[in-house]
């Protein structure tokens, strides 16, 4: 995610500049293009890890920059990420009991 | 604020009606956004459902008192136990906790209302809608009959063809939305509306427990929402989620239900824990022992509570790995609960105990919940649970923790806080009789169920026969009869409470302001509190701030000297009252929106045209709400106020 | 959407100045709501993941998914997040005209996405995948349908917001209202980021 940090040169209390947001959007679009390319190009064993990583990166970027969570009070992050964390925990556990992750 | 915004009054917003700010009588209650009135309404409706659920229980006990019972058919029996549990959990316990939380949480943190007063009213009216819809099923073709956990595919259209389950799904969905909205409301209230100086670790334990409960609700309710939606789609629109012939796995419902269902049991018990955490110190004349431990164990119970749900599924074919993991997690959660028990005991140890009715119920909780907790520990051990599950042993466990725990906690709260809410003391002597009948009744009813379970009586069985009753004197026949007699003793106990309430209402004697020499901020008000709660928002310096304003502790000798009485402190606040207090105004929209939601829901059962009508009402109410300011404009009152002082300040006490 | 003002009647909203945390009531409420929505969509996504390959009747996902089409749709929704944040930025600069411009573009992009969903659903239906056809069908439509409803509600809120701004009838801090609707909108977008990968790009 180091590419993203260069772009918030203008980060102040009310967020990035419009130019910054556009830069983030371009990065997101590029990642999306890469995701779609997995449909056309054979990534081999990298297929799943690459897709999941890109999904997570896009998710975190939208949350951190567009939703401004990176620049706001940690309390908001706590409220959201506890919800997300609980969701991941309970649903992955439940799917695990269905032997979902066993090939 | 930018100057290009026109001032807006709700009189102009939708052109039609002024908001109902000056209504009196029943209209005042219908449109109120005052947390105290809402709390009282929650309490009244919840208690009514307590009676309804109790009558359903008495029918069950009548049916099972003798072999070959003929009081209820199998079908009616299924409806009875389903509705008994559903009513008790969703229409009594949760709303009664909401009653206490609504009334006392803002008072305990020194606030004048909750963060979103109209949303608060919406939660209440949605709850009423949900409760009415759920119970309408009795009259509209039969109530739900699949057990309160409504396992699919049994609850699907093939095996539960009547509309009962549809009403159950709808009623719970609506009630669930009410609780979700309420949980967001109370969390924001606690985070943002504490009096100056009240850090989180200076909040009363009741407030803390309610906060943990709201987090449990906000994160667990969406899961049952999914389950209910999937079941609704299956039943009403032919989806295949629980259709085994299509390859569905029945365990999906179980997981979704219990991921909500387990945190739900902590939702039920933590408010009671919070109540007695106020009551025990007050009547022991000692501060709560180990406040940080009580707080952190409450938070841990909340968190770990999300990790143990499959202990409700030990016999469902999960497989040994899953069972082992959840078994261990379940044992772990006994620890923070045990911490609380020890803290309560150590609070009482060395204290000067005052055995008021409230205190009796609180001590009762500690003992009875411990008994229920011990049987819970035996369930955590998966091999022994395999014998216990789906027998009356489980029924015994959860009634000890729910009745002996939660209900006793609520009754402790009734006796404790009645003088604050109604300005009258409940009769202590009647309270004592109330308590003893409930304790004896409770143990007679649920104690034998441990034995019945181990003797092999399954749950949800509408009838038992002589042939199955077992040998000897102490068999099904004996224990079922004891249990059924016990249930009527319990009913007498509840009746004594109702008599106490009526007697108190007729008694003109006013309660003193601080009858128990209490410790927390809700007592720094008149009885009942004025509409704006505090004449002046208190500045908080201590945990148990109210106590520390009355008593000063000598640094060296640690002797407490009383420097003021509660009455003096309240009079002092009145003398220093704020000049300008603007309270949020009454509103039509919460009630109207609730009606819209109810109609929308009924449309799922009775047809799309009804859904459309409901949706239109919802849309109309939403716009009306959004365009209405929370605090009324002067023009909304009958005669405009010129000097900025609203009409909402009224001395009631 | 306001809390109690203790002094100034103009301060009908909480800018965060009078709260214990210094944060806005409304913003706290919105983040809590979004946290809870993670559990809602998590449940629907898990149901889909469990049932995606259970196709006793009707087509399998590999037979009907049109990845290029959905990719364009996803890109549209992603870009709507950009226009949304530009609307928020304009609102914070008190530029009503720009705010409304970006809001309407966001709403249009959202409506385009919905249009794409409708087209996709009707195509799938014609190709034999209905809501009741198979577990795959039920769980696919439940998940994407729920998401679609959320987007539609978002579009309605955007258009309503524009109308209310135009009429000058905002009852609170205008920039904050735009920000809050923005948070909702972005959330709906990030749910789609997950759905696009797990449902469409990863074959079952």
Alpha-carbon gap, residue B547 to B568, rounded angstroms = 13
Q: Which of B219, B249, B309 lies closest to A98 in CB terms?
A: B249
A94–chain B nearest CA distance, Å:
7
Specify which residues B553 forms β-bridges with.
B560
Q: Which two tokens stand for residue C37?
A: 């929505």
User: Looking at the domain assignment, is residue C169 inside a domain?
Assistant: yes
How far apart CA B287 and CA B267 sit, in angstroms, is: 25
Number of A/C CB contacts below 8 angstroms equals 122
Chain C: nearest CA to B17, how far in angstroms?
A: 17
Q: What is the mean pLDDT of residues C3-14?
A: 37
Chain A residues within 8 A of C202 when measuring between CB atoms: 48, 51
Mutation site, B180, B190, B214, B219, interface A, largest A CB count within 10 A:
B219
Query: Do the beta carbons of residue B560 and residue B585 sit within 8 Å?
Result: no
Nearest chain B residue to C173, by CA: B1
- Do C182 and A67 lie within an 8 Å CB cutoff? yes
Kindly determine whether residue A90 and residue B259, on different chains, have CB atoms separated by under 8 Å.
Answer: yes
Tell me whether residues A97 and B322 touch, CB distance under 8 A.
yes
Closest chain C residue to B581, measured at CA: C6
d(CA B226, CA B215): 18
- Mean pLDDT (whole number) for C155-176: 88
A64 → chain C, closest CA residue = C186
C11 CA: distance to closest CA in chain B (Å) = 9
Yes or no: say if B172 and B225 are a contact pair by the CB < 8 Å rule.
no
Report how far residue B607's alpha carbon sits from residue B543's, in angstroms, rounded to the nearest whole number. 56
Query: Cβ(B129)–Cβ(B174) under 8 Å?
Result: yes
Taking an 8 Å cut-off on Cβ atoms, the answer to whether B631 and C94 are in contact is no
**Which residues of chain B have a pLDDT value below 50?**
1-8, 10-11, 13, 639-653
The number of folded domains in chain C is: 1
Does the distance separating the beta carbons of C131 and B233 come in below 8 Å?
Answer: yes
pLDDT for B579: 86
Any domain includes C58: yes
| Nearest residue to A24 via CA among A10, A35, A38 | A10
Q: Scanning every residue of chain A, which has its alpha carbon at the shortest distance from the alpha carbon of B252?
A: A94
Preferred mutation among C11, C16, C31, C39 to probe B, highest tally of B CBs within 10 A: C39
Instruction: Tell if the CB–CB gap between B219 and C36 is shorter than 8 Å.
Output: yes
A92 inside 8 A of chain B by CB? no
Is A83 within 8 Å of C38 when comparing Cβ atoms?
A: yes
CATH architecture of B34-583: Up-down Bundle (1.20)
Both structure tokens of A52: 């999941």
Domain ranges of chain B: 34-583
Neighbours of chain C (3+ CB pairs under 8 A): A, B
C44–B626: do the CB atoms touch at under 8 Å? no
Please tell me the predicted confidence (pLDDT) of residue B653.
25
In a domain, C18, yes or no: no
Are residues C21 and A54, on separate chains, in Cβ contact within 8 Å?
Answer: no
A29 contacts C78? CB cut-off 8 A: yes
- Is the Cβ of C37 closer than 8 Å to some Cβ of chain B? yes
Among candidates B223, B256, B310 on the partner chain, residue whose Cβ is nearest the Cβ of A97: B310
Looking at beta carbons, which residues of chain A come within 8 Å of C23?
Answer: 73, 75-76
Cα angle for residues B636, B637, B639 (degrees, 5° grid): 125
Is C92 in contact with A15 (Cβ distance < 8 A)?
A: yes
- Cis check: omega of the bond before B153, within 30 degrees of 0: yes
Residue C10 belongs to some domain of the structure: no
User: What is the per-residue pLDDT for B569?
Assistant: 96
Per residue, what are the HEC states of chain C?
CCCCCCCCCCCCCCCCCCCCCCCCHHHHHHHHHHHHHHHHHHHHHHHHHHHCCCCCCCCCHHHHCCHHHHHHHHHHHHHHHHHHHHHHHHHHCCCHHHHHHHHHHHHHHHHHHHHHHHHHHHHHHHCCCCCCCCHHHHHHHHHHHHHHHHHHHHHHHHHHHHHHHHCCCCCCCHHHHHHHHHHHHHHHHHHHHHHHHHHHHCCC
B218: nearest CA partner in chain A: A83
Residues of chain A short of pLDDT 70, as ranges, are: 1-15
Domain ranges for chain A, please list them: 2-71, 73-103
Minimum Cα–Cα distance from A96: chain B residue: B322
For residue C110, the domain's CATH number is 1.20.120.80
Domain residue limits at C185: 37-201
Mutation target among B10, B35, B115, B183 for the C interface, most CBs of C within 10 A: B115
Residue from B11, B232, B239 to probe the interface with C (highest C Cβ count within 10 Å): B239
**B625 token code pair:** 């709400």
Q: How far is A94 from chain C (nearest CA, A)?
A: 9
Task: From chain B, pick out residues whose CB is under 8 angstroms from the CB of A93.
Answer: 307
Phi, psi of A54 (to 5 degrees): -65, -40
Please report all neighbours of A, defined by 3+ CB atom pairs within 8 A: B, C
Mutate to test the interface with B, among C1, C3, C142 (most CBs of B within 10 A): C3
What per-residue confidence (pLDDT) applies to A100?
A: 93
Taking the CB of residue A103, how many other CB atoms lie within 10 A of it?
A: 3
pLDDT recorded at residue A15: 64
Would you tell me how many other CB atoms lie within 10 Å of the CB of residue A92? 13
> Per-residue confidence at C12, pLDDT binned at 50, 70, 90?
very low
Does C6 touch chain A if contact means CB atoms closer than 8 Å?
Answer: no
Distance from C-alpha of C126 to C-alpha of B239, rounded to nearest angstrom = 18
Spatial separation of the C-alpha atoms in residues B164 and B146, rounded to whole Å: 9
In a domain, C20, yes or no: no
> B627: which chain C residues are within 8 Å (Cβ-Cβ)?
164, 169, 171
For C:5-34, CB contacts with B below 8 A are 5-7, 9-10, 12, 14, 19-21, 23, 25, 28-29, 32-33
């Amino acid at each position: 995610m180091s590419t993203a940090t260069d772009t918030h040169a203008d980060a102040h209390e009310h967020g990035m500049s419009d130019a910054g947001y556009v830069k983030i959007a371009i990065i997101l679009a590029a990642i999306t293009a890469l995701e779609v390319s997995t449909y056309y190009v054979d990534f081999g064993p990298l297929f799943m890890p690459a897709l999941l990583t890109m999904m997570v990166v896009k998710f975190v970027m939208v949350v951190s920059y567009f939703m401004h969570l990176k620049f706001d009070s940690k309390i908001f992050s706590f409220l959201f990420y506890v919800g997300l964390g609980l969701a991941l925990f309970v649903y992955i556990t439940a799917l695990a009991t269905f032997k979902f992750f066993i090939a | 604020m930018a100057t290009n915004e026109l001032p807006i009054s709700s009189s102009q917003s939708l052109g039609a009606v002024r908001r109902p700010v000056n209504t009196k009588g029943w209209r005042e209650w219908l449109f109120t956004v005052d947390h105290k009135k809402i709390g009282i309404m929650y309490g009244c409706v919840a208690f009514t459902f307590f009676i309804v659920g109790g009558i359903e229980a008495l029918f069950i006990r009548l049916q099972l008192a003798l072999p070959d019972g003929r009081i209820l058919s199998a079908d009616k029996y299924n409806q009875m136990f389903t509705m008994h549990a559903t009513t008790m959990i969703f229409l009594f316990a949760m709303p009664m906790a909401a009653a206490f939380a609504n009334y006392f949480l803002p008072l305990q943190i020194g606030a004048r209302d909750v963060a979103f007063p109209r949303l608060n009213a919406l939660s209440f009216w949605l709850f009423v809608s949900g409760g009415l819809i759920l119970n309408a099923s009795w009259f509209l073709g039969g109530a739900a009959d699949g057990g309160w956990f409504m396992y699919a595919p049994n609850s699907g259209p093939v095996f539960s063809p009547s509309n009962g389950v549809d009403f159950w799904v709808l009623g719970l969905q609506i009630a669930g939305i009410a609780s979700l909205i309420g949980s967001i409301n109370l969390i924001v209230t606690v985070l943002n509306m504490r009096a100056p100086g009240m850090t989180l670790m200076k909040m009363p334990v009741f407030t803390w427990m309610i906060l943990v409960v709201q987090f449990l609700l906000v994160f667990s309710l969406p899961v049952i929402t999914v389950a209910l939606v999937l079941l609704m789609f299956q039943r009403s629109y032919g989806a295949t989620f629980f259709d085994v012939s299509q390859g569905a796995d029945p365990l999906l419902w179980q997981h979704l239900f219990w991921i909500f269902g387990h945190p739900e049991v902590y939702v039920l018990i933590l408010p009671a824990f919070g109540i007695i955490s106020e009551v025990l110190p007050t009547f022991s004349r000692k501060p709560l022992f180990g406040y940080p431990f009580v707080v952190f164990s409450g938070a841990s119970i909340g968190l770990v509570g999300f990790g143990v749900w499959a202990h409700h599924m030990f016999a469902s074919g999960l497989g040994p790995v899953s069972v082992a993991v959840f078994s261990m997690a379940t044992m772990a959660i006994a620890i923070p609960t045990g911490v609380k028990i020890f803290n309560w005991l150590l609070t009482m140890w060395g204290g000067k105990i005052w055995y008021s009715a409230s205190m009796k119920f609180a001590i009762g909780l500690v003992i009875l919940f411990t008994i229920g907790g011990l049987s819970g520990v035996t369930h955590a051990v998966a091999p022994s649970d395999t014998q216990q599950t789906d027998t009356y042993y489980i029924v015994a466990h959860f009634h000890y923790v729910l009745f002996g725990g939660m209900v006793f906690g609520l009754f402790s709260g009734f006796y404790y806080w009645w003088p604050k809410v109604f300005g009258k003391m409940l009769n202590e002597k009647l309270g004592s009789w109330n308590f003893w009948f409930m304790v004896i009744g409770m143990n007679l009813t649920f104690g034998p169920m441990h034995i019945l379970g181990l003797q092999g009586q399954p749950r949800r069985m509408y009838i038992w026969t002589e042939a199955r009753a077992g040998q000897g004197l102490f068999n099904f026949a004996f224990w079922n009869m004891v249990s059924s007699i016990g249930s009527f003793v319990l009913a007498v106990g509840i009746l004594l409470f109702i008599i106490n309430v009526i007697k108190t209402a007729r008694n003109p004697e006013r309660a003193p302001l601080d009858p128990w020499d209490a410790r927390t901020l809700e007592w720094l008000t008149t009885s009942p509190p004025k509409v704006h709660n505090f004449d002046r928002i208190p500045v908080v310096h201590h945990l148990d701030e109210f106590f520390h304003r009355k008593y000063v502790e000598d640094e060296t000798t640690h002797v407490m000297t009383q420097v003021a009485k509660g009455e003096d402190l309240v009079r002092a606040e009145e003398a220093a009252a704020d000049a300008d207090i603007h309270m949020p105004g009454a509103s039509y929209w919460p009630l109207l929106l609730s009606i819209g939601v109810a109609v929308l829901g009924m449309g799922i059962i009775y047809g799309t045209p009804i859904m459309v009508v409901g949706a239109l009402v919802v849309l109309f109410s939403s716009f009306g709400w959004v365009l209405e300011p929370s605090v009324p404009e002067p023009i909304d009152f009958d005669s405009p106020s010129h000097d900025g002082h609203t009409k909402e300040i009224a001395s009631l006490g | 959407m306001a809390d109690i003002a203790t002094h100034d009647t103009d301060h009908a909203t909480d800018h965060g100045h009078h709260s214990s945390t210094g944060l806005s009531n409304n913003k706290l409420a919105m983040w809590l709501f979004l946290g809870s929505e993670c559990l809602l969509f998590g449940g629907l996504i898990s149901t889909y993941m469990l049932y995606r390959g259970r196709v006793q009747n009707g087509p399998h996902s590999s037979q009907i998914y049109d990845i290029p089409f959905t990719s364009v749709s996803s890109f549209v929704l992603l870009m709507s997040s950009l226009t949304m944040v530009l609307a928020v930025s304009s609102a914070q600069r008190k530029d009503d005209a720009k705010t409304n411009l970006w809001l309407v573009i966001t709403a249009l992009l959202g409506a385009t996405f919905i249009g794409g969903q409708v087209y996709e659903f009707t195509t799938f239906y014609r190709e034999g995948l209905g809501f009741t056809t198979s577990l795959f069908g039920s769980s696919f439509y439940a998940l994407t349908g729920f998401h679609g409803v959320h987007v539609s509600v978002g579009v309605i809120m955007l258009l309503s917001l524009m109308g209310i701004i135009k009429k000058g009838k905002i009852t609170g801090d205008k920039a904050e209202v735009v920000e809050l609707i923005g948070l909702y909108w972005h959330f709906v977008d990030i749910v789609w980021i997950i759905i696009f990968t797990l449902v469409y790009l990863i074959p079952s």
